[in-house]
Structure 1
Amino acid sequence: MHFYQILKKIIRTGVGKARFLMAAIGLGIAMLLILVALQVHHNFSELLYGERNQNERADFLVINKRITNEMMGNSALSTFKPEEIEAFKQQPFVDGFGVITAGQYNVKMVADQLGFSTELFFEAVPDSFIDVQTDQWKWQQGQEVVPVIVPSDFLDMFNFGFAMGNNIPQFSEETISSLTPGIVISQGMRSSQFAGRIVGFSDRISTVLVPMSFMEWANGAYGTGEEKPPSRVIIKTKDPSNPVLTDYLEQHGYSTNKEKTRFSKVRVIVQTIVSVVGFFGIVLLMFALLVFSMFIQLVIASCKREIRLLITLGAAPGQLQRYLLKQFVPLYIIIGLLALVMVTGLQWWASGLLARHQMFVPALPGIITFIAAAAILVLVYLVNLFAVRKHIAGMASS
C-alpha cells in the first residue's frame, strides 16, 4: 500500500476527519477576517484621501482658545503666544498656517438701501486662505472703496432674520454685491469714512474680511501702535478628522468648528473595530496552524508502523514528506481562493452601496489583500512543512 493511500485512510477516520475539518474551517475563517480587516482599512483610507471623494485635497480650520471662566476679564489668556504658534506650525497635520489679524478700531457699516446699520469688526487673513476668487480683492492707501468678504451665513441671517422681522425686502447675492454700504472706522475722536464693496461670500471663514493691506494701514492709523498677539489662527490640513489633530486641540485647550472634526470619533471607532477583527483573525490563524500541526502529528503517529516499514524498505524521508504535504496544499489553495472570492463579493457590494451616497471605493479588493492572502498561505505551508519534517525526521531516527 502506498503512503498516500495510508494517509487518506487515516484522514477518513473519526478523530482525524474531525480535526482536519476543524483546521480547515479555522483557517478559512481566519483568512476571511484578516482579509476583511485589511480591505476595510484600505476602503476607509480611500474614503478619506481618495481623489474621487474630495472636491479639494485639503480643509481649513479656524482655531481659537476655548474660553473658560478663568479667562474672563483677562483677554491676554485667549491669545496665542509666539511659542504656541511655532509649536502649532510644526505639527505633522498642518500643511499651511496663517494668523487672523483683528482690527484695533471700531467699525460701523451703514447700508441705507437696506435700511440697515450695525457695529461690526474687521479681520484679515493671508490671501492664500481665502476661498473667494475675485480680481477686486486689493486695496491701497488713498482708495475710497474697501472690498469686503462676508460669511455666506450673513446673507441668510439678513434675509430670514433681520429682513423678515423688520418687514423689509430680501436681497439676492447679486443685489447685495452691487451695493456700496458706508463704512466708518474710528478710534476716540478720530474717524474715516469709506465705501464698502462686498466682493464675495465665504464658506470657509466666518468673519468679515478686508484685505491685509487695508488692515495694516487701519491698525497703524487707528490702532494702539503695538502689534497684538492673534486670538485666532487658521490651518490647512488634509484630514480634519485625524485623531492626532483633535487630540492636540483638546490637550492644548483649542477649539474649532466641531462639524469638521466630528468624524474623528467615528474614525477611531472604525479603526478600533478593524483592529479587533484583525486581531481575532490572527488568533484564529494561530489556532488553525496549531490544529493542523496536531492533525499532522496524529496522522504520523497513527501510521507509525507503516512509515517505519516504508523507511525500512528504502523510502526516503523527503519522499514521505512530499506525500504528506500533497494532501494539504490543494486544500490551502481552495481555502485561499474561497476567502478571496468572498472578500471580492463583499467589496463589490460595498462599492455599489457607497456609490449611491456619493462615496467611492474600488469595486475590487486592493493589491494588499491579495498579497496578504498569498502570505497567509505561505505561512501555513511553512508551518506544516516544519511539523512534517520534525515528526518524520524523529521517526526515521528512532
Structure 2
Amino acid sequence: MFSFFKKKPPTPTEPALAPEDVASPAAPPAADAPASGGAFGWLRKPFGAGATSVADPAAPSAGAPAAIDAPLAVPEPTPKPGGARQGWMDRLKSGLRKTGSSIATVFTGTQINDALYDELEEALLMADTGVKATQHLLEDLKRRVKETKTTEPAAVKGLLADALADLLRPLEKPLVIGEHTPTVIMVAGVNGAGKTTSIGKLTKHLADHGESVLLAAADTFRAAAREQLGVWATRNTVEIVSQEGGDPAAVSFDAVTAGRARGKDVVLVDTAGRLPTQLHLMEELKKIRRVVTKADASAPHEVLLVIDGNTGQNALAQVRAFDDALQLTGLIVTKLDGTAKGGVLAAIAQERPVPVYFIGVGEKVEDLETFSAREFAQALLT
C-alpha cells in the first residue's frame, strides 16, 4: 500500500526563475530554457473529436503554462475485490514459474553436498542473479543450513527463500505521497520497457487512493507517445499537459507550475525513452530535471526508472547508468510474466540497491502491484 503523509498544501507562489532556464521577453532563451507555454494559454477541454477549447476563468489570461486536457467527469474509484492480493500472487508465481522450476529441480536429490550447491550456483546464474549476489546467497544458505542442522534437501529450498527475502528486503520501500504538494514524479526508461503503460497503471493506483493526478506528456521524442499517454489520461479521468512537438523541458516545467496552481497531489512526468549509451539524450533527461527544479525548488521528489524484467543483467546496467545521471529514488520492474527470470532483482539488491516500488506481470491495470521481498522470494522459489 502507499504511505501517505498529508500536510496542508502551501500557498502557490511564483517561483524565482533563473535566466539560464527560462527565457525572458527581452532576450532569446538559453540552452536549458524551456520554450514558453504562454502561446498555448491555460485551456481546459474534454477529450474526443470535435471538442472545443474553453478558457478557464480562474486561470491567468497570459503567460500561463501549457494546455491542459481535462476529462468531463471523475468517477468514484473502484475498490479492489476481496482476495485481490492472492490473485496477484498467483499471477506472479505463474510468471516466474520457469525460473522457479529450474531452481526447484536442484532440491530433488537426497543429499546436501557440494554437488547440490554447484547445481544451485548454476541455476541462480542462469536466473540472472549475477555473480556477486549468487555468491552471497550461497554463503548465506550454507550458514543457515549449518545453524539449523538441516538434513533434507527439500528443506534447503525454504532456507534459500529466507536468504533471498533478506537480500531483497532493502528494496522494499513504500512510495510516499503528501509530503509535498504536488509530489513531482519523473519517470525514465528505455524504449520498450513499458514506461508509459506503467505510468498509466500508477495513475490508476494513485487515483484509487484518492490522489489527484496531473500527467505531463514530456516524451516528445517517440512517435505517438503523447497520444498513448492521452489514452491513459482518458481511462483514468485525469488531466494531462501536452504540447505537440514541444520541448520536453517546457512541458515538464508547465506541468509542475500547473500542478502547483491547481493544488494537485501528484504530477507524473513521462520522459522520452532512451538507451543509457545515448549520451546526448541522457543530457536531455538531466535538463528536464534541472528545469523541473526551477518550477519547484524541491522537485523532482521521486525519480523512477522502469526496467524490463526480461533484460537480465542489462537491467542492472541500466540502473547504474540512470542512477549516475539522475539519482534514482525508485524502480518499477515490468513484464515478469513468463520469460523473465527474476533473479536480476537480487543482483540489483547486491550491487545497486535502489528501492523497487512496483513490479508488473502483464498489461492489465491490476497487473502492477507494490513490491514485497517475502512475496517475491516465495513466488520465485515455490
Q: TM-score range by the shorter chain?
A: under 0.3
Q: What is the TM-score normalised by the length of structure 1?
A: 0.21
Which structure has the greater CA radius of gyration?
1
* Larger relative contact order (Cα-Cα within 8 Å, sequence gap ≥ 6): 1
Give the TM-score normalised by the residue count of structure 2.
0.21
